[in-house]
Amino acid sequence: MIASKIGLLVMHYGTPASMDEVLPYYTDIRRGRPPSPEALEDLRSRYEAIGGPSPLRAISERQAKLIQEGLATRGINAKLYIGAKHTHPFVSEVVKQMAADGIEQAIGVILAPHYSTFSVAKYTKSAIEARDVANPNMQLEVLQRWGTLPEFIKALSLNLQTAMQGLDQNETLVIFSAHSLPEKILAAGDPYAEELLMTSRLVADDTNVANWVFGFQSASTTGEPWLGPDILDVIEREAPNYKNIVSCTVGFVSDHLEVLYDLGIEARDKCAELGLNFRRAECINDDPLVMDALAGQLAEMLEGAKVGQAV
């Protein structure tokens, strides 16, 4: 039975709205510890290199709107709330607003397809904790993973095919990638790395890719080991064997800073340095079929079908 006042909670990483907001943003990512002036300058220069603040917020908003429309076509009229992990409005702030608006039943989705204790679990925890304070009676269920959703695989596969057009498969290496995380997550049994590999395998199969590997990207310098191999090391290692590198990130769903800079500039430059041709497959961004499929998952959750993990 679906309650009368339904809320759709769409959660994304967050990005500074202007260059002036880079410092508070970075400080929040560092759990309240301001970055050193050098680290801040480094991040500011990466934003500048992609032309200023990232398009992440705008893309997330378009994605959220499409998910809301997908629910509407299934007869579910849900009020949309968009919350971020590291910028206002934070996930906790919008959940408080949902309670204030009298939302009785809510469904949530994170714009990150793979489960990790470091990402999806943290978004979910913020939402649930805020719900417990604001209105413990508001039902809230969050989709925990969607990295094998057929429409997601197909959209990635089509983008990869476009990027590979005209290239000789035998001379081409596809590198699937995703954000690295501290290596310690493996010891705790985190499924993140496995889920990323599963998505990569499905896309490679759907695209009939001859040669592919997986590499992590965007590791931070926190003084502890992060998951590898790093994509730049993979490029260097494989350079003698190929003419073309095609990058396809499976862990990100928007062409934002980590994609536009770490792949579009850093990985591209590394390839140029090694005499390799570089191409990048676009992220799914606001692909209507993927967003509609996500709406389908959320609709099933609302109907009580066992799709996501209830929390």
Distance CA(11)–CA(178), nearest Å, equals 18
Contact 203, 283 (CB under 8 A): no
Does residue number 217 form part of the binding site for ligand FEC (CB under 6 A)? no
Q: Is the Cβ–Cβ distance between 108 and 141 less than 8 Å? A: yes
- Phi/psi of residue 80, nearest 5 degrees: -90, 135
Residue 192 CB, nearest approach to ligand FEC (Å) = 8
Q: Which stretch binds ligand FEC (CB under 6 A): 90-98, 231-239, 252-260, 264-272?
A: 252-260
> From CA 293, how far away is CA 216, in angstroms rounded?
27
Q: Give 120's contacts (C-beta < 8 A, 6+ positions apart).
A: 110, 112, 114, 144, 145
Which lies closer to ligand FEC via its Cβ, residue 12 or residue 276?
Answer: 12
By CB under 6 A, the count of residues binding ligand FEC is 19
- Least distance in angstroms from the C-beta of 244 to ligand FEC: 26
Shortest gap between Cβ of 3 and ligand FEC (angstroms)? 28
Q: Is 239 a binder of ligand FEC (CB under 6 A)? A: no
164 Cβ contact partners less than 8 Å away, ≥ 6 residues apart: 172, 174, 207, 209, 246, 279, 281
Nearer to ligand FEC, 70 or 251 (CB): 251
C-beta separation of 141 from 310 below 8 A: yes
Instruction: List the one residue out of 224, 215, 183 whose CA is nearest residue 196.
Output: 215
Q: Which residue in this structure is represented by tokens 């260059």? A: 19
SS3 category, 171: helix
Which 177-196 positions form the footprint of ligand FEC (CB under 6 A)? 179, 181
Q: Least Å distance between CB 222 and ligand FEC?
A: 5
Give the whole-angstrom CA distance, residue 189 versus residue 35: 30
Q: Using an 8 Å Cβ cutoff, are 155 and 206 in contact?
A: no
Binding track, positions 267-286, relative to ligand FEC; x by CB under 6 A: --------------------
Task: Please pick, from the candidates 190, 195, 258, 282, the single residue that binds ligand FEC as defined by CB under 6 A.
Answer: 258
Does 138 bind ligand FEC (CB under 6 A)? Our answer is no
230 binds ligand FEC (CB under 6 A): no
C-beta closer to ligand FEC: residue 21 or 292: 21
- Shortest reach from residue 36's CB to ligand FEC, in Å: 12
82 makes contact with ligand FEC (CB under 6 A): no
Instruction: Determine which residue in the list 256, 270, 279, 280 makes contact with ligand FEC, applying CB under 6 A.
Output: 256
| Touching ligand FEC, residues 2-41 (CB under 6 A) | 13, 15, 26, 29-30
Q: Are 250 and 200 in contact (CB under 8 A)?
A: yes
Binder among 60, 68, 119, 172 for ligand FEC (CB under 6 A): 119
Considering only 32, 222, 223, 275, the residue that binds ligand FEC (CB under 6 A) is 222
The answer to whether 146 and 188 have CB atoms below 8 angstroms apart is: no
The contact set with ligand FEC (CB under 6 A) reads 13, 15, 26, 29-30, 43, 54, 56, 112, 118-119, 179, 181, 220, 222, 251, 256-258
